[in-house]
Structure 1
Amino acid sequence: MPLTAEGGQARPKPLVIPQYCKGCGRCAAACPKKCIAPTGEVNPETGYVPVSIDYSKCIGCGICCSSCPEPYALHLDNVKYFWELPAQEQENVKHEKLPVAEPVADKFIPLPDTEPLMIKGTYASAIGALLAGCRHFFGYPITPSTEGAELMAKILPHIQGVFIQAVSEVATVNYMYGCGSAGRPCMTFTSSPGFSLMLEGISYMIGAEVPGVIVNVMRGGPGLGNIGPEQSDIKLVCRGLGHGNTHALALAPADPQEMLDLTMEAFRLAFKYRQPVIILGDGYLGQVTSQVKLPKHMVEPGIPAWATAGDREHRANLVTSIRLTEADLEKLNHHLNDIYA
């Protein structure tokens, strides 16, 4: 007797679309009845070996569909994708009017008066980010910036935050691109060699107008150099950052107090102008210790209207750096130059 869902209706069964199946086997491993297995034959369209389903054992639990990493390879038979709809229904979907997203404003939460903290510059910047509402940190350790990342790693898990140690600085900046596109405040700590690896991704963030905060605790160079303080990346940041017509909003603190204050300001500017902001410290400023007073408020960030937040209201949004026509690209460059002016 076929298993039925609540109300007596038979459960929908999974369907495999062979041309989208890569034969990874995740669905077979997830199936509690072991009714999914490779077909043993290569699909000539893809070069992969797709799976097949023994429907005599299938109970329609849908776990296989949830485990499939491909969005179209495996779905329940009661689901219709856009291209499977009749022509008239496709037209209706195309002309469906989506709601216009409204921005959710930041909230400012008062903080009690406290005694000043005696902390180093990297800690001050990390605390400033937390007070600015940053709950997403991505980074790869590099001296002399690592202490800031270590503090974020200790705190974020306790406040429902996300800390990801990426496989490289290249991965780090791409994590930031995705998080910033969703309208979420995010940051990283790095130093000069790691910052160089981020330049392509920063150019993409600038072109796509994605906010984010990058704290560059500069060290001696060129090349590996040493871990002593140096300010030579200022020329890189202010005179050409990444490929294309790119600059950046740059802030250069002078002491740990400004490391905290300007990190908070960096998040405000990043979302006001939809641009990455670079904080330029150095090996000395990152390690030096002094008194730091906390601000009078902290920020609970909202969600900007342009964000790709994943809900229906933001479904029509697109965050991309590609501009296929010269007119559109010229318009973007004029817009960016107005920000930098």
Structure 2
Amino acid sequence: MSSRLSDYDFELPEAQIAQAPLATRDASRLMVVRRSTGERAHHQFAELPDLLRPDDLLVVNNARVIPARLLGQKVGTGGRVELLVVRPSAPTLTSAALGEAPEALDWVCLGQASKGLKPGQSVAFSGGLTAEIREVLGGGEYQVRFHAAPGTSLAALLDAAGRLPLPPYITREPDAADAERYQTVYARASGAVAAPTAGLHFTEALFTTLAARGVRRVEVTLDVGPGTFLPVRDEALDLHRMHPERFTVPQATADAVNEARAQGRRVVAVGTTVVRTLESATDAQTGQVRAGPGETTMFIRPGYAFRQVDVLLTNFHLPRSTLVMLVSALLGRERTLEAYRDAVRSGYRFFSYGDAMLVME
């Protein structure tokens, strides 16, 4: 077990960072890695139904990415301002607050501006949207109050003035195709600022094939936050703190996972966000998944004992990232890095629009 950041580094050619999706979702490649032996095999994502068991339980994150990136100007000086809407200020509010008004107009945002932002600063965006910086929270975060006509929801304001927040390693502006392809086909719960990217490979036809094979699908919601892209800065991993992310586990999902565990059937997590949701929602006394809303700052790395997840489907992640550490907690650090080096040699595409890995027993 390693507690040093540098132990999760690997060489990644910039040319292998996927800048755009493939023509079809399930055309991605899929590396299968066995936890017990480290054995690796190369497949196409469309072959997934043949790689899973008929009684597997597939758990997906139905979070939908919102147009959370706002570009505006300081009122009075015209200085450039960029805000990324992150979460409602009131801790009791969930992503449903996007559709509420007026109390839902107080939100925490990540901000960048010429000469910084100070409390009392007014910002103007397109479509008549304005905002006031209420408080500097630190770490690039600000408490912001948006101003709009009575009864106007933040969702409506973002639809009018916001842009899709593509990850920072995609070095182009979003285009019309991203509005569809940077969402999963099952995205329903608006509130994320990044896509749960392991799910981007699925098509409705592939789900039909999985269902015919006997693989059941259930959903959770975790509003993926900007923390997923923030670098780990401390060499000593014990010093790293995760940004909070909101989640919800429906009762039907909790029941399905608990039943699968009791019957010895495999729980297949589609993405690291599903892993963190299920593990965070686990009752410490009973070991079962609890239904309902919650918030997680869970940092999963080698040494963690998984309680709910048997199989992980995930994309290839940034070097030195908490996501690589989570994969390493399930697969082992050395085997994870060996798989990543193999992926580089074999020309796999990395990150959000890249290829996928299936970690099995």
Query: TM-score, structure 2 length as denominator?
Result: 0.21
More helix per residue: 1 or 2?
Answer: 1
Q: Say which structure, 1 or 2, has more relative contact order (CA 8 Å, 6+ apart).
A: 2
More strand per residue: 1 or 2?
Answer: 2
Query: TM-score, structure 1 length as denominator?
Result: 0.22
